[in-house]
Amino acid sequence: MFYYTSEKNVQMVIALMKEHGIRRIITSPGTTNVTFVGSVQNDPYFELYSVMDERSAAYMACGLAAETGEPVALSCTGATASRNYFPALTEAYYRHLPVLAITSTQYTGRVGHNIAQVIDRSVQPRDTVKLSVDIPAIYNEEEEWNCNVKINAAITELVRNGGGPVHINLATTYSRDFSVKELPKVRVIKRYQPGEAFPKITGEKTAVYVGNHVKWNKELTEAVDLFCEKYNGIVLCDHTSNYKGKYAVQIGLVPESVFMNNELTKIRLLIHLGDVSATSLHIKADKIWRVAPDGNIIDTFKKLSAVFQVDELCFFKHYAAKGQNRESDTSFYEYYKKVISSEQKEREKIELPFSSLWLADKTLKQLPENCVLHLAILNSLETWNKYAVNKSIPVYSNTGGFGIDGVLSSVVGASFANPEKLYFCVIGDLAFFYDINCLGNKHIKNNLRIMLVNNGKGHTMRKSTLAGIFEDEADMYIAAEGHNGRKSKCLVKHIAEDLGFKYITASTKQEYLENLNTFIDPDIGEKSVIFEVFTDSRLENEAQAMMRKNSNSTLMNMAESAVRKVAGEAGYQKIKKFIKKRGGFS
Ligand SMILES: Cc1ncc(C[n+]2csc(CCOP(=O)(O)OP(=O)(O)O)c2C)c(N)n1
Ligand SMILES: [Mg+2]
């Protein structure tokens, strides 16, 4: 008796076809598709038709799909079999017919090596399929995730935006093992389009996570805030999220480990908005939904179960209306507020060395209202994300492609839009020198305020967990130390002044504080300003270590007060004594 193949990728395709309700399959004969056909032919769920000629099989799929209004799958072998699907796929493309062409293949790395029956299917004519995905054999967890997402994306594409044909190139290892009686449990990702009935939100404790996001309008902010009130929600964000509403939980203000495995912070439903974010997140959520007008399956946290192909406003208005009769509950937000305020208290106890963190602390809260802030990626963004920014200030960073190559150009371009507004930029030395030629642009006016944090190298490479293991040996090549005048005190000064900028500089805390007022002066003045701050990479590391230690103290204090709450003061003292004996608690 034969059951399902042992090939995991094939099992996954079959399981997801069932989950998404695709039951009709037209199969054509061959060896490379044996593991697929041999598996589905014994599953009574499927309705199979055998057609010898692939060209005809695909046209039959068109007819069957048009007649039933439901998706129809095709299966063929290697060699030129799949080429014969093109005429009918073209027909399906222009008639929006949901035909799923599954072409089986040997390991695609064999393409181009004169191996019998192996052809290159990596490119499809534009008007044959809406989407083509490669599903390799699965050997590890990450590949399993990749296949799951791609198969879900392919199958849901069949009916998206009016529907149309889709291609899955499915690798086989020619396994002869058909002993698998049960298909694996697979994650289903659903896609909701405008007009479709949305699922209910049941559990408590929701979070809206916002990646890099364009400026919010008032209506969207209010809709998200109302959503938070009705569903006990918080908005997890960083500066580039640009959310300025009532329920912001700035991730950089919360000790990282708070997000991990903690029942109090466990999120039942996470709603993912926005683009690429630099803010690493260790959030554990039971369920994740993504809301984006493009409807693309973007599975940043590997837990996605639904994508809503709608405008964010439409989504939040829908759920706020549905939750109209719910009692307002903001306890989740209140909890985070407490965590943030105890972290804040711990931070106040420490004096950081002269470093990016210290600069961010002293500067961010003082930036003039209604200015704009641009942060270079990685180190600058990470450190300045550890402090709060005034709500009137939008913040940008090139997290789309994460390049250090266009930070200055981006802020210069932005500054052209509003000559009367101040545009601040915080940037490291490698990024500054990379893009320095744009400072000679003749359209630059007096509204730029550039802070160059010159530590003489790519500090990002000195702190990264990988390059960091090399310590000082990382400087020469990995962190590119020693270029651009070796922290010369006059190089940038000359360039800046010759190009018409005002130049100020600092190498100590005192010098910095003396110059800060000039830098943040809300009065626009006559010239744009470059403020070069010389720091030391070792102190940067020291400051970061202090911040981490600080977060640990916050957690310890929180744990202590939680114990106090449950056990009372006397109980707490007893437990403390006991733990102290064993070497824990301070
Ligand atoms: C165009 C480009 N090249 C290389 C990188 C890799 N990279 C990321 S951060 C970084 C170092 C940046 O150094 P610096 O601007 O001095 O900032 P610091 O880390 O010292 O604060 C490099 C080389 C990149 N992101 N973009
Ligand atoms: Mg640097």
- pLDDT tens by residue, 187-213: 999 999 988 999 999 878 999 999 999
Under the banding of pLDDT at 50, 70 and 90, the label for residue 430 is very high
Residue 463 has pLDDT above 50, yes or no: yes
Which residues, 6+ apart, have CB-to-CB distance to 433 below 8 Å?
Answer: 483, 484
- How do residues 258-277 score in pLDDT, each as one tens digit? 776 566 678 999 999 999 99
- How do residues 10-20 score in pLDDT, each as one tens digit? 999 999 999 99
Under the banding of pLDDT at 50, 70 and 90, the label for residue 566 is low
Alpha helices, DSSP H, located in 521-586: 537-581
The pLDDT score that the predictor gives to residue 257 is: 75
Q: What is the 3-state secondary structure (H, E, C) of 410-423?
A: HHHHHHHHCCCCCE
How many Cα atoms sit within 13 Å of 486 on the Cβ side? 3
Beta strands across the sheet bearing 285-291 = 190-192, 304-308, 285-291, 267-273, 206-210, 233-237, 248-250
Going along the chain from its start, the domains and CATH numbers come out as: 8-178 (3.40.50.970), 206-346 (3.40.50.1220), 350-541 (3.40.50.970)
Distances from the Cα of 538 to the Cαs of 319, 352, 549, in angstroms?
A: 49, 13, 17
Residue whose tokens read 């996470």: 270
By most ligand atoms within 8 Å of CB, the mutation choice from 355, 378, 454 for ligand 1 is 378
**DSSP states along 87-154:** HHHHHHHHHT--EEEEEEES-GGGTTS--TT----S---TTT-SEEEEEPPP-SHHHHHHHHHHHHHH
Pairing relationship of beta strands 395-396 and 502-506 according to DSSP bridges: unpaired
Task: Please give the mean pLDDT across all residues of the chain.
Answer: 93
- How do residues 124-172 score in pLDDT, each as one tens digit? 999 999 999 999 999 999 999 999 999 999 999 999 999 999 999 999 9
Under the banding of pLDDT at 50, 70 and 90, the label for residue 574 is low
Percent of the chain residues topping a pLDDT of 90: 86
The pLDDT score that the predictor gives to residue 585 is: 43
Which ligand 1 atom is the nearest neighbour of the CA of 460? 19
Distance CA 459, CA 395 (A): 22
- Residue type at position 27: T
540 alpha carbon to ligand 1 midpoint, in Å? 15
478 alpha carbon to ligand 1 midpoint, in Å? 10
The pLDDT score that the predictor gives to residue 261 is: 59
By most ligand atoms within 8 Å of CB, the mutation choice from 460, 463, 541 for ligand 1 is 460
Residue 579 has pLDDT above 60, yes or no: no
Question: Which phi-psi region, left, alpha or beta, contains residue 316 (left: φ > 0; alpha: ψ -120 to 50)?
Answer: alpha
459 alpha carbon to ligand 1 midpoint, in Å? 8
460 alpha carbon to ligand 1 midpoint, in Å? 7
The pLDDT score that the predictor gives to residue 586 is: 37
Tell me, yes or no, if the pTM score tops 0.75.
yes
Which residues, 6+ apart, have CB-to-CB distance to 166 below 8 Å?
Answer: 98, 99, 100, 101, 129, 130, 131, 132, 154, 155, 157, 158
Q: By alpha-carbon position, which residue is closest to atom 17 of ligand 1?
A: 428
Residue ranges around ligand 1 (CB below 6 Å): 376, 378-380, 402-405, 428-431, 453, 455, 458-461
Q: Which residues of 52-72 are buried (b: 16+ CB within 10 A; e: fewer)?
A: eebbebbbbbbebbbeeeebb
Residue whose tokens read 């990382």: 474
| Ligand sitting nearest the alpha carbon of 406 | 1
Q: Dihedrals φ, ψ of 272, to 5°?
A: -100, 120
Residue whose tokens read 């439409």: 314
- How do residues 296-318 score in pLDDT, each as one tens digit? 999 999 999 999 999 999 999 99
- Cβ proximity of 190 and 25 under 8 Å: no
User: Mean of the pLDDT values across residues 556-563?
Assistant: 67
